[in-house]
Structure 1
């Protein structure tokens, strides 16, 4: 009997249909809550600090390098830890088959090896200098595109040499800052702080507000870090969003600017300096009539330089027990192209030309500790200790009034026996007109940061600071207020002001163990008190204004996002115009100690 023919199936499956089926299965799996949460959890694992036997410890930055001082550097190796995945910079064993994690890491350009090499203070065949290595690790860690950095000594078979491993972990290069969002106003900026992994930043921002006469506004900035290995940073940009520091309150400004700076990137460096150029102008954002709107434009040139001619760090890697001595100079010129036409502002010092020359003799001795959970959420933080004292003198011409200036200021940090940090600072300055003192400023401040204490599976630290600012013979200077960071946080546009002010603030921070998709939670409770010579020239006879606050700060240190803050404040003795209760939902910039001992000399601030 004839057999019935049967069609043979292809031994190779149809790839197109099978790929489509896999894709549908993958999409369905993403809908699974368990799978989605596990992906986000693994994606957000990031720079948790390595375990420590003493969670309150502060380690001297150079401590790990001292045993290798004087050894020859044979080779330098580089390892770049992926942004997403490893729990911390020391995690060398992390592997994953999660495609979403690989995709997220591919969206990020790791810092190029040549960029890290340009940022090193040493080369192969140099000898190990413990203080130089500590400075270099700190410099890398404080680049805006690097989350953490380690310089590791690799033992070789030869007792007189070592290999060096430079380990870096980037911050995710893309960032978003949503400043405002409502049905009538939106303001945001997007940025990339390490474009193509080449140490360059690009930012674009916009604002739309239906209540403004000019609803739309934009800003843009380009930044290049460490140009050609010179440790010079430069930025150029424009803004019409009032993001540069405006001249006065109740004004709205735009600006075109160029900024160049070379910091004292290591303690043994000799030169530091910088300059900025800008053209600034007022914008009638509120649609005010010509009789009210302050129509003005001005240019600013600001140049400074410094040279450290006595240095305690020797070429052989040893450090002497003496201070560095430096001389600094600054020239500042603010010139109006157009002044406000209103009679009230014609003789106002703020809206008139000003230029000054300022010199400073600076004595400083600065070292650092490494720790964590200070102002951050777990990242490695560099805490200064030591002192700096500056003696300043200069000449100012403001409204064609020439005045001589003298000033003395200083600050000292101590690492206490209880593993805390204490700082005390102060200063006194005055302008002189025909041997008569004007605009004298007296400043005093103290701050204490407690040790880190284990508490409820998390950690706790207490911050306390007090400051006094006074001006007994004002001429150009305007009264002090107690609004926001200048007095009571949450006070806005209060009329309480005077020429003497004292502030007391205390805040307890609980670094919780909670983490959701990499976002960590720091709870805080604060007490604030402020007193200003408002009703009586004798400061202590004036009312004391107080505030009490509770809240939480939320941050993922793996991402280029500002810290998210929610707070509630109560003011039992609020002045007229200020509510007794204030709720806050905002973002705040990450705070860090200033690691550069030499900076542009300035007048003792009165604001």
Structure 2
């Protein structure tokens, strides 16, 4: 009797709950030409569909992408009447349904958060799943190529070898899941230039184990890039990011500059980003541009994750080039031939901490400059051309995490932003052909993401030689910031700010720093000195504008800076400001990089420079600078 009463009571509760839920829901019919807009989700059905939604929090509107699809369908029908135009259309067109952007989020999150529920589970198996190019998505692994171009590209494309992917993993079978290590694996794979995006899924198994699925979407291996500074200065590159799926790359770049003799030159590079689970970058390169000719080999194993114990590298080059200045005076047809060798090695020690991931890193470096030919040198002249050996050591303490975000540099692409701090103490000894001197340096990097405020990176560096007193020193202070994603309807704005101060300490007269790189597009005379203060702000508007597949992100910027020099016989001070704007354009239906067009205006331009500068270039998503670098180095005076 008691059991029957309990069953009746439970049935009544379920019925009442269902009735209450139905009272606050609505049945919505959405046709294939419409979209359903909820608070944080948009549904665009391929056919007429019925949804059950919150009665007060939805909108139905016509699909703005449908006109584009109709346009492309009509273009397909018209171009299909001619074999040549039909093949050209199929080469360029990708179905608009292929878009797989991440949803915009006001506040970013730490990259380990998705893996926290699986902490401690033991890995039974690791499976690699390759996602179709162009139309595939790591966020929807069932999506497959359907357009003629996508089908063709995926047939000719060779997927990255599973061995290459596994060699970049820090996890293995029968190990327990560490959320931070899982996030490290996503980040390490995303840093490979031939990978577009990565997402790691964890599938719990009944026996307490878990299967790890690594969804990998390659980039199309072949590509080209064009950068135009002016009509008489540009470069064009052709590259293959992933030769035969082997994880190796090759590129050739042609340079043209009428100010150079000869006016054209080239650069060739080949390399890879992994050698048998060592997570090591290597490259062979050759350059022949103007008077400059160089050959080089570069091999680097960095501490890309806190769990990596050993790092190091070598950089060996031979360079022939003409000198630009000799102690501040112009020099004609004076050449140098340099043999350059650079070696470093380091050891990382994990410090006790549960979630701060603290490390103590000790590293040493030997740099050797040996000139086969050079300009005249003396104890007080042309120290850049001294034969010298520089021995350096560095001790660093760091705590690092990473922020996973998007809509920072491009539409919906995962970006890894460093969080934490690094404190480094640098010491060294310079052995050159005229004298010996000591070097001391200090670096402090601190970054954090503050909810509803944004990301802040602060950096202070100071370093100097000490021979008969402090000399050839530099003080640098920098601050970088970007805001949370500010949204108004379907418009999203991200604001950026960067401030920098650089001061030279007893630098030789011929050593100067320039406003180039601090004020966008500035060039000409009177932009160099011994001290610089610069500020730059930029706003990027991610719009819902959609015109036959094209997406648009206007951006606006303002830069101001002053350079001064109060060394003996100098006494100069110059200030400039530049303002401009541009637009980044990307069509997910076309197989090209983002196109950036910008225009900069200077109310007062430097002598010999234009007041208004136009620039056109192709660009790719860029990540924030990684502050966790442990190779010992002099604090750069630039």
Question: TM-score normalised by the shorter chain: which range applies?
Answer: 0.7 to 0.9
| Structure 1 counterpart of 2:601, from 562, 570, 575 | 570
Q: Verify the 8 A CA contact 1:520 1:555 in the aligned structure 2.
A: yes
**How far off its partner does 1:149 sit?**
0.6
Alpha-carbon distance between aligned partners in 2 of 1:335 and 1:560, rounded to the nearest angstrom = 46
| Structure 2 counterpart of 1:307, from 339, 344, 347 | 347
Partner of 2:211: 163
Alpha-carbon distance between aligned partners in 2 of 1:124 and 1:68, rounded to the nearest angstrom = 15
Moved more, 161-170 or 227-236: 227-236
- Taking a change above 3 Å as real, the CA distance of residues 521 and 583 of structure 1, as seen in their structure-2 partners, is same
Q: Verify the 8 A CA contact 2:323 2:331 in the aligned structure 1.
A: no
Alpha-carbon distance between aligned partners in 2 of 1:278 and 1:560, rounded to the nearest angstrom = 36
Alpha-carbon distance between aligned partners in 2 of 1:552 and 1:258, rounded to the nearest angstrom = 38
**How far off its partner does 1:458 sit?**
2.8
| 3-state secondary structure, aligned to 2:176 | coil
Q: Verify the 8 A CA contact 1:301 1:334 in the aligned structure 2.
A: yes
| Structure 2 counterpart of 1:450, from 476, 483, 488 | 483
Partner of 1:316: none
What TM-score comes out, normalization by structure 2 length?
0.79
| 1:319-367 CA distance string (max 9 Å, x none) | 35463111111111121111136x9999322233233111111010010
Q: Verify the 8 A CA contact 1:377 1:557 in the aligned structure 2.
A: no
Q: Verify the 8 A CA contact 1:171 1:558 in the aligned structure 2.
A: no
| Structure 1 counterpart of 2:375, from 333, 340, 343 | 340
Q: Verify the 8 A CA contact 1:47 1:379 in the aligned structure 2.
A: no
- Taking a change above 3 Å as real, the CA distance of residues 299 and 562 of structure 1, as seen in their structure-2 partners, is farther
**How far off its partner does 1:521 sit?**
3.0
Partner of 1:331: 366
- Taking a change above 3 Å as real, the CA distance of residues 406 and 457 of structure 1, as seen in their structure-2 partners, is same
Alpha-carbon distance between aligned partners in 2 of 1:594 and 1:208, rounded to the nearest angstrom = 29
Moved more, 225-234 or 378-387: 225-234
- Taking a change above 3 Å as real, the CA distance of residues 559 and 605 of structure 1, as seen in their structure-2 partners, is farther
| 1:429-456 CA distance string (max 9 Å, x none) | 221013x111221111112210011146
| Structure 2 counterpart of 1:222, from 249, 252, 270 | 270
Alpha-carbon distance between aligned partners in 2 of 1:204 and 1:561, rounded to the nearest angstrom = 18
| Structure 1 counterpart of 2:248, from 200, 207, 212 | 200
Alpha-carbon distance between aligned partners in 2 of 1:228 and 1:406, rounded to the nearest angstrom = 37
**How far off its partner does 1:218 sit?**
3.4
Alpha-carbon distance between aligned partners in 1 of 2:401 and 2:607, rounded to the nearest angstrom = 47
Alpha-carbon distance between aligned partners in 2 of 1:551 and 1:81, rounded to the nearest angstrom = 33
Partner of 2:407: 373
**How far off its partner does 1:190 sit?**
1.1
Partner of 2:196: 147
- Taking a change above 3 Å as real, the CA distance of residues 559 and 379 of structure 1, as seen in their structure-2 partners, is farther
| 1:227-271 CA distance string (max 9 Å, x none) | 1222122111212137xxxxxxxxx41111001011113211111
Alpha-carbon distance between aligned partners in 1 of 2:397 and 2:202, rounded to the nearest angstrom = 33
**How far off its partner does 1:517 sit?**
7.6
- Taking a change above 3 Å as real, the CA distance of residues 46 and 345 of structure 1, as seen in their structure-2 partners, is farther
CA RMSD across the alignment: 3.5
Gaps of 5+ in 1: 1-23, 243-251, 314-318
- Taking a change above 3 Å as real, the CA distance of residues 206 and 536 of structure 1, as seen in their structure-2 partners, is closer
Q: Verify the 8 A CA contact 2:100 2:139 in the aligned structure 1.
A: no
Alpha-carbon distance between aligned partners in 2 of 1:557 and 1:277, rounded to the nearest angstrom = 41
Q: Verify the 8 A CA contact 2:229 2:616 in the aligned structure 1.
A: no
Alpha-carbon distance between aligned partners in 2 of 1:311 and 1:546, rounded to the nearest angstrom = 46
Alpha-carbon distance between aligned partners in 1 of 2:571 and 2:413, rounded to the nearest angstrom = 41
**How far off its partner does 1:44 sit?**
6.6
| Structure 2 counterpart of 1:356, from 376, 390, 405 | 390
Alpha-carbon distance between aligned partners in 2 of 1:30 and 1:501, rounded to the nearest angstrom = 61
What TM-score comes out, normalization by structure 1 length?
0.83
| Structure 1 counterpart of 2:184, from 135, 144, 150 | 135
- Taking a change above 3 Å as real, the CA distance of residues 96 and 425 of structure 1, as seen in their structure-2 partners, is closer
Q: Verify the 8 A CA contact 1:339 1:352 in the aligned structure 2.
A: no
Alpha-carbon distance between aligned partners in 1 of 2:128 and 2:402, rounded to the nearest angstrom = 25
- Taking a change above 3 Å as real, the CA distance of residues 204 and 271 of structure 1, as seen in their structure-2 partners, is same
- Taking a change above 3 Å as real, the CA distance of residues 218 and 456 of structure 1, as seen in their structure-2 partners, is same
| Structure 2 counterpart of 1:295, from 328, 335, 338 | 335
- Taking a change above 3 Å as real, the CA distance of residues 210 and 568 of structure 1, as seen in their structure-2 partners, is closer
- Taking a change above 3 Å as real, the CA distance of residues 98 and 147 of structure 1, as seen in their structure-2 partners, is closer
Partner of 1:63: 113
Alpha-carbon distance between aligned partners in 2 of 1:254 and 1:593, rounded to the nearest angstrom = 31
Q: Verify the 8 A CA contact 2:388 2:433 in the aligned structure 1.
A: yes
Q: How many residues align?
A: 557
Please give the residue correspondences for 1:45-194 in structure 2 after superposition, counting only pairs within 5 Å.
48-51=100-103, 55-86=105-136, 88-95=137-144, 97-158=146-207, 160-179=208-227, 187-194=235-242
Alpha-carbon distance between aligned partners in 2 of 1:501 and 1:455, rounded to the nearest angstrom = 37
User: Is structure 2 residue 326 aligned with structure 1 residue 278?
Assistant: no
| Structure 1 counterpart of 2:296, from 233, 253, 257 | 257
Alpha-carbon distance between aligned partners in 1 of 2:454 and 2:400, rounded to the nearest angstrom = 17
Partner of 1:601: 632
- Taking a change above 3 Å as real, the CA distance of residues 38 and 27 of structure 1, as seen in their structure-2 partners, is closer
User: Is structure 2 residue 457 aligned with structure 1 residue 418?
Assistant: no
